[in-house]
A and B are shown apart, each in its own frame.
Chain A
Amino acid sequence: MNTRLNENRRVLAGGDRLPAKPGIGLKTQHLSALIEQRPEIGFVEVHAENYMVKGGARLYLLDCVRELYPLSIHGVGASLGGEGMLDETHLKHLKQLNERYQPQAFSEHLAWAEVDGRYLNDLLPLVYTEATLKRVTEQVDYLQNYLGRRILIENPATYLQFEMSNLGEPEFISELVKTSGCGLLLDLNNLYVTCSNHKLETDSYFDRLPLTAVEEIHLAGHSVDSLTDGMQLLIDSHDRSVCEPVWELYRKAIGRLGALPTLLEWDAQVPELMALVAEAKRADRYLLMASEAVCDAG
């Protein structure tokens, strides 16, 4: 009695790449509203692990969404920075999702989450050394070969640095991109949070990244943990709108890089769908200005 879309009849939205427009992080609670309201957005992005189920409404609704919008699948659990082998079952699930939904982009994180067969459900920080670089490059390479596609890796938000690290994060990312051939998902909120937490200059960090490899931008909100003596830690909480300094970074970034697919993320205390769409519209205005500036220069 269950209905499934006839695979042969499916017409997927979009071309081979994500459009250089704003998209929204699609929460499972917004699936039906998105299909009914069909807001004007460039694409949607979903977390891979939320769709690693055998069947049911979730998969079916994403089938429907895929016919309406270009799609980015964003993994949070592959643990590419892990010291152990990648989990073959997890990779199989990723491959099945890629085959079913044929997303325009697939991305993962520069982080680890699994050790000794236990999954910690957080994006944990890496020690930046040559040894880690070699290991992560091999894992990214393995995943790209397994999926048969180029993947994007997202720069992390971190709260600590390790004594043992002897490479800068932008240099580590540049070398990873160069050696593995992966693209960069530039998360500007992560960049802002990391720079603030480690007293780094955002402009300098940005300049040291492999900018020609950026294929997508992420924007999100963060919270501020105020400590004693005026010190603070920024937390990548995704529970509010994007702050003004991150919007400023965004305008500068697309001013230099040109218009790029831009995702608005909101993962906790999630508002109504249209509140996310409103954030996306603001990004759209800046993207339009960046495109006009390029035309004027031309």
Chain B
Amino acid sequence: MQAEFKKRLFDRDLSLDLIRSDEIPSEIRFNVYRNNVHTSLIESLQHSFPTVVSLVGVDYFSNIAWHYIQQHLPTTALLVEYGVNFPEFVCGFVKNQKLDYLPDVARLDRSFIECANEADGEAIALETLAGWVSRPEMFERLCLCFTAPVRLIRSRYPIFSIWQAHQKSDMADRLSQIDLSKSETVLLTRPAFGVRSHQLEHAEAVFIEALLMGERIGQAVSRSGDIDLVSVLRLLIDEGAISALNGDC
């Protein structure tokens, strides 16, 4: 019976003769549940993708979300996990519109939620690194283990600038001044309990991405080219992004 009930939430052509009839039409009674299911899931997606909502407006976002819900219902009651593949879905939705950056902005929104809710963990202090710096041959062979909240989001579009504009009341003005041909990479960290965002230079982004893939410091440096190694490592450690140094990798 419950499978039949569910079908009727999404298909208005099916009979509602499972409902006891009275003077209030069954359609009106059943519509309360249709509305509850759709509205609550749309609101959940709005909550998870606030920058996307600001960029396209509540009505247009709700339209995308409605279509998403028809194809992708949550698989668990943990709504914080709902919408993992929403950025890819948005990609298909905005094709041929001047919103090519929207899927990457959605990925950034999603990453904020993940970063905020990832597991707590101990991060290393700067002194831990200091012991290795004096031994360059061993230092270059180090791998870094990252704390769970760290996220790196690379984009062909200026997603950090767009996200920053979204934080301000004059978003439209600020958006109009952004050069949409610019690529940007964002690093998210959670040094205590608040999520912090950092825009990275290209070389820094390549370096940190290589480290996240498990490459040694020496390999990551040769991949990124000219980089201020001390300042990047200091940033990562100050931001609580590193949980361990591994000298045996």
Contacts and interface: CB of A to CB of B under 8 A. Distances in A.
Contact of B17 (A83, A124, A163, A225): A163
Nearest to A49: B77
B26 interface: yes
B33 A124 contact: yes
A121 B118 contact: no
A89 B192 CA distance: 28
Contacts of A83: 1-3
Contact of A162 (B19, B121, B192): B19
A285 interface: no
A58 B120 CA distance: 11
A297 interface: no
A55 B118 CA distance: 5
Interface stretch (B34-42, B178-186, B212-220): B34-42
Given A49-B77, A55-B118, A115 B6 contact: yes
Contacts of B246: none
Given A53-B117, A115-B2, A122-B36, A1 B18 contact: no
A52 B6 contact: no
Contacts of A231: 23-24
Contact of A117 (B1, B37, B75, B79): B75
Contacts of B149: 55-56
A42 to B, nearest CB: 28
A82 B2 contact: yes
A171 interface: no
A124 B5 contact: yes
Contacts of B120: 2, 4, 54-56, 59-60
Interface string B1-30: 111011001000000011110111010111
Interface residues of B, number: 49
B148 A54 contact: yes
- Residue from B17, B19, B22, B78 having most chain A Cβ neighbours under 10 A: B78
B192 A90 contact: no
B32 A233 contact: yes
Interface string B55-87: 000000000000000000111111110000000
A227 interface: yes
A121 B41 contact: yes
Interface in A100-145: 112-122, 124-125, 127
B155 interface: no
Chain A interface size, under 10 / 10 to 19 / 20 to 34 / 35 or more: 35 or more
A228 B33 CA distance: 20
- Residue from B32, B44, B190, B192 having most chain A Cβ neighbours under 10 A: B32
A56 B117 contact: yes
Contacts of A160: 19-20, 26, 29-30, 32-33
A77 interface: yes
A133 to B, nearest CB: 15
B191 interface: yes
A164 B78 contact: no
Contacts of B26: 160
B119 interface: yes
B201 interface: no
B80 A52 contact: yes
A188 interface: no
Interface of A: 1-4, 49, 52-60, 76-79, 82-83, 87, 89-90, 93, 112-122, 124-125, 127, 159-165, 197, 199, 225, 227, 229, 231, 233, 235
Interface of B: 1-3, 5-6, 9, 17-20, 22-24, 26, 28-30, 32-33, 36-37, 40-41, 44, 73-80, 116-123, 147-149, 190-194, 240
13 contacts: A53-B117, A55-B120, A77-B76, A89-B76, A90-B77, A117-B75, A118-B75, A119-B75, A124-B5, A124-B33, A159-B33, A229-B23, A235-B32
Q: 5 shortest A-B CB distances, which residue pairs?
A: A77-B77, A57-B193, A55-B120, A1-B240, A53-B117
Given A2-B147, A160-B20, A160-B29, 12 more contacts: A1-B123, A2-B122, A55-B120, A56-B117, A57-B116, A93-B78, A119-B75, A120-B73, A121-B74, A122-B37, A124-B2, A235-B32
